[in-house]
A = this chain, B = another copy of it.
Amino acid sequence: MKHEQIEEGLARLKALEAAGLFGSDFLLTWDKSEQAIRAVLLTAELLQALREAGISCRLFDSGLAVSIFRDKSTRTRFSFLSAANLLGLAAQDLDETKSQIAHGETVRETANMLSFLTEIIGIRDDMYLGTGHAYMLEVAEAVREGHRQGVLPQLPALINLQCDLDHPTQSLADLMHLARHFGGLDKLRGKRLAMSWAYSPSYGKPLSVPQGVIALMTRFGLQVRLAHPEGYSLVPEIERLAAENARASGGSFSRAGSMAEAFEGADAVYPKSWAPYAAMQRRTELLRAGDARGLQELEKEALEHNRRHESWECDEALMARTRGALYLHCLPADISGVSCKRGEVAASVFERFRLATYREAGYKPYVIAAMMLLAKVERPAEALGALLRRGERRQRL
């Protein structure tokens, strides 16, 4: 992006400032207006442009960005801490893997104890249906009470780094990738996107990626087709939401009976494994009951169930049915013959799009940084403009 393009972007951002992101959490894309979504993408682009021009994006001279990962994560963890670092916040991780179902006073208290000098709290809690989003709401309410009651001098903004319902930092990075590929957000209208289940030899992958994708992409006029074997449906409310979004945006949301059908004439494909819905529900119950044997049996069953659908693999024959589609993935992909015997995608297909998926992932730190900035800075266009005009180098000499 050239200097004039940045200036022009800042002018567009100014028009989006009233999108209601300042002072608020980012938990679900469907709670946010289209203006707000556009503001995040534009801010992400501007931050990337400043960064690549070597201009300091350090808006904070101190302050913490705390991340709470309730399951292991390397990629999201590094995206989050890169974003924090870009803005001048110190990232600090709280390992909570063991206290999976802490709630009530423990959550209220811990949330405040972590937040005395904290600007941002990022949470990933995606393993159990009905719990991740609920946990985030609990933390959000706890810090809001703390701020109201004089415990916290500033209100930390929450960012959903993946819950049971949505994965907004991922779906927005995906949307940014699509926009770059097709020449802009407004060029996505009418484009066909296949969101398809794919086979994986592992079990229990969260539903939030496909849910996030169908809920977000239908808002920008895309024609989204969802395909999965029987038993792998998504949370019903979110499928309904996707249909409504499509109606409102002039796009469409439909179902296909197979990956092949979904891929027919597609401009972009997103073949990705997720767990059977019913299994995810039983899993939450078994976990709550502390039933270790039940969990083992469930895993065995679910893997057997998966195995019946080994043919759901994105291979060259399927890609040939598309209109030269762009392959999307949130990484890591299960690549047949590479990371597993049989997986989500054929090696030759993945290899062709490998670097493209890396670039797709590369938008995530900027998307997260944009969410942070828009939550904490009231007039972002002015703030970014000041960075630009000051022109301080990120690296001296």
Contacts and interface: CB of A to CB of B under 8 A. Distances in A.
Interface string A289-314: 00000000000000000000000000
B51 A58 contact: no
A117 B359 contact: no
A110 interface: yes
A397 B392 contact: no
Nearest to A60: B395
Nearest to A363: B116
A213 B287 CA distance: 42
Contacts of A386: 396-397
B92 A335 contact: no
A140 to B, nearest CB: 16
Interface string A98-121: 000000111011101110111100
- Chain A interface main SS type: mixed
A109 B362 contact: no
A52 B153 contact: yes
B395 A63 contact: yes
Contacts of A338: 104-105
A56 B58 CA distance: 14
B105 A397 contact: no
Contacts of A119: 395
Given A62-B86, A109-B358, 20 more contacts: A51-B153, A52-B153, A58-B62, A60-B396, A61-B395, A62-B85, A62-B88, A64-B82, A64-B85, A66-B78, A74-B114, A78-B113, A78-B114, A82-B116, A86-B117, A105-B335, A146-B355, A377-B397, A378-B397, A387-B396
Interface of A: 48, 51-52, 56-64, 66, 74-75, 78-79, 81-82, 85-86, 88, 90-92, 94, 104-106, 108-110, 112-114, 116-119, 145-146, 149-153, 331-332, 335, 338-339, 354-355, 358-359, 361-362, 364-365, 376-379, 382-383, 386-387, 392-397
